[in-house]
């Protein structure tokens, strides 16, 4: 597991913000990704919240090899296997089951499992996991939860996702156990629907600038 922990650390350090992406039109994939990359977001989490997620991953892995492309909203092992087949470079789940955690141990592709409680953490901890997605962060305590986790789980790092926004993202990064954050506030649905890729680029750049 050590090499997979190191891989997650490396992509988190590079990404800082992990955009949570829903593809609703296959024609949008490349211009959407190009706009995010131009704005500084080159590590992408393509979710399986639409029917086009896996095809988007395949296309990006072929046409944009300079990007780091992962798959999110993986709910079971069949989705896990499909994400691997599509070329996912990392996998993110909203929660954790024993089956998914065990699949992640066996796979060469790093898994960032979603957790919300100490029991979730301990279930994954015994299998060697040390990096987690706190989701939905705003519902399960946010910054206060991260501060509480820092006591008993001092060697863990988290990617809080859910309710992260321009008003609190900097405060999240001030927590020593935060390695990156996930979110979609820089990807407004109306801007995507309008295919205003210049605006997406601007919003991604502004999101990263908030951290400085």
Give the residue-averaged pLDDT of 35-61.
98
Contact predicate 159/185, CB 8 Å: no
pLDDT tens digits, residue range 109-124? Answer: 999 999 999 999 999 9
Domain boundaries, given as residue ranges, for the chain:
2-206
DSSP H helices in 65-187:
77-86, 98-106, 118-125, 142-149, 169-173
Give the residue-averaged pLDDT of 181-187.
97
Give the residue-averaged pLDDT of 197-211.
97
Task: List residues with catalytic annotation.
Answer: 45, 133
Model confidence at 212, pLDDT cuts 50, 70, 90, reads: confident
Model confidence at 183, pLDDT cuts 50, 70, 90, reads: very high
Query: For the domain bounded by 2-206, which CATH number is listed?
Result: 3.20.20.70
Q: Tell me if residue 34 falls in helix, strand or coil.
A: helix
Q: How much of the chain, in percent, has pLDDT values that exceed 70?
A: 100
Q: Please give the mean pLDDT across all residues of the chain.
A: 97
pLDDT of residue 139: 96
Q: Which string of b and e fits 12-27 if b means at least 16 CB within 10 Å?
A: beebbbbbbbbbeeee
């Amino acid at each position: 597991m050590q090499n997979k922990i190191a891989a997650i650390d490396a992509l988190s350090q590079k990404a800082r913000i992990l955009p949570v992406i829903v593809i609703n039109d296959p024609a949008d994939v490349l211009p959407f990704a190009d706009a995010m990359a131009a704005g500084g977001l080159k590590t992408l989490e393509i979710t399986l919240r639409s029917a086009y997620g896996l095809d988007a991953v395949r296309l990006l892995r072929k046409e944009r090899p300079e990007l780091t492309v992962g798959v999110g909203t993986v709910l079971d092992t069949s989705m896990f296997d499909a994400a691997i087949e599509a070329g996912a470079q990392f996998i993110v789940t909203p929660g954790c089951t024993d089956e998914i955690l065990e699949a992640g141990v066996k796979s060469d592709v790093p898994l960032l499992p979603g957790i919300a409680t100490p029991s979730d953490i301990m279930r994954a901890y015994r299998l060697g996991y040390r990096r987690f997605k706190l989701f939905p962060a705003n519902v399960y305590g946010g910054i206060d939860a991260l501060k509480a986790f820092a006591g008993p789980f001092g060697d863990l790092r988290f990617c809080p996702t859910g309710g992260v926004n321009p008003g609190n993202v900097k405060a999240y990064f001030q927590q020593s156990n935060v390695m990156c954050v996930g979110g979609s506030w820089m990807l407004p649905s109306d801007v995507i629907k309008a295919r205003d890729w210049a605006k997406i680029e601007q919003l991604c750049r502004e999101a990263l600038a908030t951290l400085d």
